[in-house]
Amino acid sequence: MYNDRSVGKKCTQTENTRKHKLKGLYRSVKKYLAILLALTMTIAVCAGCSGQNAESSGESSEPFTDELLTESSGSDEIMRPSFSEASASNKLKDESEITLVQLQAPKAGDRIVTMETSLGAIKFVVYPDKAPKAAENFLTLAETDFYNGKVFHFAEDGFMIQGGAVNSNGTGSRSAFTNAQGEQEYFETEPSWDLWHFRGAVSLANTSENLNGSQFVIVQADSIYGHTEQELEDAAFPRKVIDQYVERGGIPHRDTYSTVFGMVVSGMDVVDDIASIETDASGAPLERVVIEVVTVDTLDEAGAAELAAAMAAGSTSGEDTSEADTSSSSAA
């Protein structure tokens, strides 16, 4: 199963995978080919493997794993990527341009996900304008009942909970997107300066930066997980973001490789309950926690006002507001 217990890492899976394949292929061909030929073939084969990974279309039956993620002892290893290289629209000119939309009250027209679990309901708003593919993927899968009956296969108090795997042991990930042949394909990470892994954030779990699918995590940490305020400063995190990590808690190292696409607006007490369940050595809950049904709704004016009042009262940090009627029309 995939989890990112490793703290302060860069997601270097693609590079390490190539090195691993290079060594294996080199050992198999060195008896028959000259060293120069072997190296040439290795480069060609690894390039082909990389392309297949980037355009993976078959459903993954392997567990997401962090075995190729490297442990870091230095704060320089949690540097936020240069998102301007990934997308011109993400070019940051000034910190004042950062809009922390997760901290804003939901408004009429927002899409709200209600996840009924065996321990209670969790509601979160999604941000299709900030993470369009991640939001579309989750909403499409939810509206086709993919998540119904799935389990939370990983939980750690003070860290996060994770679900959405194809199989209950945490293996497999489903994508709602397909290629020209009609086969499913995973999609790229969508960085945003406006979405961060604060407590309550909903983000994608992935095996590498651009292999995203159905697996998701909800951040449960109520303090800065694995790092200090000074380390975030040294890593050049924006000051307003650091302040929120100090106030709310979260998992800042996930900002380097994972897409945030939602934020819990009620039911963090349920998230806390799931995270506190006793687990085995791998982090799998010993008590089965089932996602019974997921519905997607559109907020109306009254529902938006009610959620805004609840957020202002601090309900998302622990109180249960799942009984509130927050939507007008179901899209599921």
Q: What is the structure's pLDDT at 176?
A: 82
Q: Tell me 45's DSSP state.
A: H
For residues 65 and 245, which has the higher predicted lDDT (pLDDT)?
245
User: In which order are the strands placed within the sheet that holds 291-298?
Assistant: 152-156, 160-163, 212-219, 201-206, 260-266, 120-126, 111-117, 291-298, 329-330
- pLDDT tens per residue across span 125-144: 999 999 999 999 999 999 99
- The pLDDT of residue 91 is above 80: no
Q: What is the structure's pLDDT at 66?
A: 31
Confidence of residue 96 (pLDDT cuts 50, 70, 90): confident
Which amino acid is present at 36?
A: L
Distances (CA, A) of 174 to 92, 183, 185, 253, 326: 33, 11, 9, 25, 29
pTM of the predicted protein model: 0.71
Instruction: Look at 70-79, 121-130, 163-172, 320-329 and tell me which has the smallest mean pLDDT.
Output: 70-79
Q: What is the structure's pLDDT at 32?
A: 41
Neighbours of 272 (CB within 10 A): 17
Average pLDDT over residues 195-205: 96
- pLDDT tens per residue across span 280-317: 999 999 999 999 999 999 999 998 888 888 777 764 44
Q: What is the structure's pLDDT at 50?
A: 40
Q: What is the structure's pLDDT at 289?
A: 97
Q: What is the structure's pLDDT at 208?
A: 66
Q: What is the structure's pLDDT at 314?
A: 65
- pLDDT tens per residue across span 17-40: 444 444 444 454 444 444 445 445
Question: 254: which 2 tokens?
Answer: 């996930």
- The pLDDT of residue 228 is above 50: yes
Confidence of residue 181 (pLDDT cuts 50, 70, 90): confident
Pick the CATH number of 13-330 from 2.40.50.140, 2.40.100.10, 1.10.730.10, 3.40.50.300: 2.40.100.10
How far is residue 94 CA from its own chain's centroid?
26
For residues 325 and 209, which has the higher predicted lDDT (pLDDT)?
209
Mean pLDDT (the chain) is: 75
Q: What is the structure's pLDDT at 37?
A: 52
For residues 122 and 315, which has the higher predicted lDDT (pLDDT)?
122
Share of the chain above pLDDT 70, in %: 65
Average pLDDT over residues 215-235: 93
